[in-house]
Every structure is written in C-alpha cells, then in structure tokens.
C-alpha cells in the first residue's frame, strides 16, 4: 500500500511517499519558510498560509517524482488535522481532500503530535506501547503516556511557552536571527554552561509541568543590564548557559516522569529533539538506568510528511484509522 503524507501545520510544506509492508520511505521532501518569517522574528500565520498555497503542489509533485511512482499509485492520503495554525492547516487539508476525491481514495486527518511521536517508529519499528513520550518543539512541550490502542494520558505540559519558542525568542534577545535554536547550540559547543545561572522554573516541583516565559524575561533583563559589547564578547558562554537552562528543565521533568511511571521505554519527538545536548543527557540517564531511548533521525525531528504517513500506517495496522470526514482543529490535543 502506498501512502502520501502531507504536513502543513506551521511553516514547513512537506509531502512524503511511504510504502507499507515492508515499511519504506520512498521520498520525504519539504519546503521551509524560514526566510519568509525571519524578518518578522517569528511565524506570521497569513504569510505561512500563502507560502503553503504556493508550494504544496510543487512539493507533492517532487515527492511523487523522487519516489518514482505515478499519482495513480497512491492508495491513501494522510494529512495534518491539527494542532497548528488554521490557515496552513486548511491549505493542507483542502489539498489532501481534493486530491483524494480526484483519485477516489481515502484521506485521513492525523494529529500532528502523534506524527512527531511516530517519527521514531520509522527507524525503530519494534517499539510497542506502553511507554513514556516527550514531545518538545516550537509550539509544544509535554509529557504523555501512550498505552495500547492509542490511549494517551497527559502527565504535564508547559504552562506558557514551549521550549522551542524559548530558544528562538531568547536567541533574538541576545542578538541572533530567527530561528535561533540551532544557532544557540552551535555557539554553545565547548563554552561555559555555568557562565550565568538562568532560571529553571518548576524544576524541583513534584509534577510534570514546564514553564519558560520567566526564562525569556530573565534573558531580557540580563541583556538590558549589560552592554552590547559584553553580550557579543561572551555570546558563546551566554548561549551555553541558556541552552543548559532549557535542557536541564526538560531532562529533570522527563526523569521525574520516568520515575513516577516506572516505564523502561522513552520516545522523544519534535523539533527540539534534534538538540545534541538533550540527546546526550537523556542518553546518559537512560543508559545508566536500563531505559530504552528512541529519537527520530535529525531530518525527521522537524515537521515532515513521513511522520504523518507513519502515524496513519500505525493506525491502519491497528485497525484504528480516524474517520475520513474529520475537520481541522488548530487546538487539537494529543491528551487531555
């Protein structure tokens, strides 16, 4: 069976072709809108929607060409139903449904967060719930237990900003361009992570909740209390201290959840899962405590079409595909 996966929840226009049984990614191209949004310091929904509208046909055709198939070879379509930005979601959903109607095949709406968690399954297909999951991206930071039958239980999520947003917005405050997450990581390598003690909100509280809005405030005050010359001269150490604070909070809460649940498998998904320090610190803890740790590949950590198709394939194999008439929902949760 051949699946077309379409992801358009935010600022990546992505399409992928996957074959099931045996599972194989035949193509997985995407168009990133970073340049369109960089000058605004963040994603502008209207700009994102227009870019999706302009690029989705091209990216879909590229996926088909790279997979070396024809349009008529596609058996089913999976598209992102939510969560995400309304305009971009509508572009992807409308394209998917229109194409499905023309091809007389089904189109299924998939939860974007379930897609992120399915990205690791693409390389480790023997993963079976129950297990603990950490989704960490520009819009989401949450700890969720997945049990058989796609049953999700929320242990905790951010009370305000997501970790990815904290990276990007704090990076802008210290003079970096949007998106700043990967730049911070590059600047931080080999630098002094104890140069400045940025706050770790809720780190020691007995719950699975996160908070990063106070960190951004602390960074702003730090920048305002020091000269631009000082910030530039010590940019690497400041970036290292900032990265340490964010990753420390993520790791501390994940360890809390592992201890609370007793699970021996942890799956991490979302754009921030590409962060090297997060992988290193969770890796050390899990290795020393006999816990299986599953990350997606670096490419599949960010939004992509393969993860959406993978989530649909997982559900198809379990006989639990969603109804084909599902509407897009910008605030669609994974677990309540």
In a domain, 336, yes or no: no
In this structure, the answer to whether residues 154 and 291 fall within a common structural domain is yes
Mean pLDDT of 207-222: 97
208 annotated to bind ligand? no
Q: What is the pLDDT of residues 151-209, one digit of tens each?
A: 999 999 999 999 999 999 999 999 999 999 999 999 999 999 999 999 999 999 999 99
Check whether residue 178 and residue 217 sit in a common domain: yes
Residues 6+ apart with CB under 8 A from 32: 11, 12
Per-residue pLDDT at 336: 66
Q: Is 268 annotated as a binding residue?
A: no
Q: Are residues 305 and 290 in the same domain?
A: no
Lowest mean pLDDT among 125-129, 189-193, 232-236, 323-327: 323-327
Structure tokens at 70: 């024809």
**Residue 17 neighbours by CB under 8 Å, 6+ apart:** 2, 3, 4, 5, 25, 26, 27, 28, 63, 64, 66, 67, 69, 74, 309
Based on the number of CB atoms within 10 Å of its own CB, is 148 exposed (0-12), middle (13-18) or buried (19 or more)? exposed
- 285 and 310 share one domain: no
User: Contact 278/272 with Cβ under 8 angstroms?
Assistant: yes
Report if residue 323 sits inside a domain.
no
pLDDT of residue 196: 98
In a domain, 325, yes or no: no
Averaged pLDDT, 291-306: 97
Query: Is it the case that residue 255 has pLDDT exceeding 70?
Result: yes
Q: Pairing mode, if any, of strands 107-111 and 76-82?
A: parallel
- Check whether 138 is labelled as a binding-site residue: yes
Which pLDDT score, from 0 to 100, does residue 41 have?
84
What is the extent of the structural domain holding 115?
2-119+301-318
Q: What is the count of structural domains for the chain?
A: 2
Whether 275 is covered by a domain: the verdict is yes
What is the predicted pLDDT for the residue at 105? Answer: 97
Looking at residue 278, its pLDDT comes to 98
CATH number, domain containing residue 251: 3.30.420.40
Please check if 41 is assigned to a binding site. Answer: no
Residues 92 and 175 in one domain: no
Determine whether the annotation assigns residue 126 to a binding site.
no
- Is there a binding annotation on residue 116? yes
User: Do 50 and 105 belong to one domain?
Assistant: yes
Q: Is 223 annotated as a binding residue?
A: no
The pTM assigned to this predicted structure is 0.95
Is the pLDDT at 40 greater than 90? The verdict is no
Residue 245 lies in a domain: yes
Phi and psi at residue 133, to the nearest 5°: -125, 145
- Is residue 231 one of the residues assigned to a domain? yes
**Is the domain of 80 the same as that of 63?**
yes
Q: Are residues 147 and 239 in the same domain?
A: yes
326 is a domain residue: no
Q: Per the domain annotation, does 308 fall within a domain? A: yes
User: 275: annotated binding-site residue?
Assistant: yes
Residue percentage of the chain with pLDDT more than 70? 99
pLDDT of residue 237: 98
DSSP E strand stretches across the chain: 2-7, 12-19, 24-27, 30-32, 76-82, 107-111, 131-136, 141-147, 151-157, 265-269, 292-294
């Amino acid at each position: 069976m051949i699946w077309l996966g379409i992801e358009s929840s935010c600022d990546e226009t992505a399409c992928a072709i996957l074959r099931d049984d045996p599972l194989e990614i035949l193509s997985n191209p995407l168009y990133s809108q970073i340049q369109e949004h960089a000058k605004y310091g963040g994603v502008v929904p209207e700009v994102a929607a227009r870019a999706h509208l302009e690029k989705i046909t091209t990216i879909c055709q590229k996926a088909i060409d790279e997979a070396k198939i024809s349009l008529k070879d596609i058996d089913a379509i999976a598209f992102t139903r939510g969560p995400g930005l309304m305009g971009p979601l509508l572009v992807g959903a409308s394209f998917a449904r229109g194409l499905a109607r023309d091809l007389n095949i089904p189109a299924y709406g998939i939860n974007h967060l379930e897609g992120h968690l399915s990205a690791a399954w693409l390389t480790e297909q023997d993963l079976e719930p129950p297990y603990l999951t950490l989704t960490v991206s520009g819009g989401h930071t949450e700890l969720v237990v997945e049990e058989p039958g796609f049953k999700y239980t929320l242990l905790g999520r951010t009370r305000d900003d997501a970790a990815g947003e904290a990276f990007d917005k704090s990076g802008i405050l210290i003079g970096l361009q949007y998106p700043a997450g990967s730049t911070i990581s590059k600047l931080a390598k080999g630098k002094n992570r104890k140069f400045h003690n940025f706050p770790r909100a809720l780190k020691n509280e007995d719950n699975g909740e996160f908070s990063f809005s106070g960190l951004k405030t602390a960074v702003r005050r730090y920048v305002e209390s020091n000269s631009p010359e000082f910030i530039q001269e010590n940019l690497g150490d400041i970036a290292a201290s900032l990265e340490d604070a964010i990753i420390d909070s993520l790791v501390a809460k994940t360890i809390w959840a592992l201890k609370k649940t007793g699970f021996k498998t942890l799956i991490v998904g979302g754009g921030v899962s590409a962060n090297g320090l997060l992988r290193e610190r969770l890796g050390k803890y899990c290795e020393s405590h006999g816990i299986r740790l599953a990350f997606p590949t670096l490419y599949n950590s960010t939004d992509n079409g393969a993860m959406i198709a993978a989530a649909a394939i997982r559900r198809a194999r379990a006989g639990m595909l969603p109804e084909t008439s599902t509407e897009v929902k910008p605030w669609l949760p994974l677990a309540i």
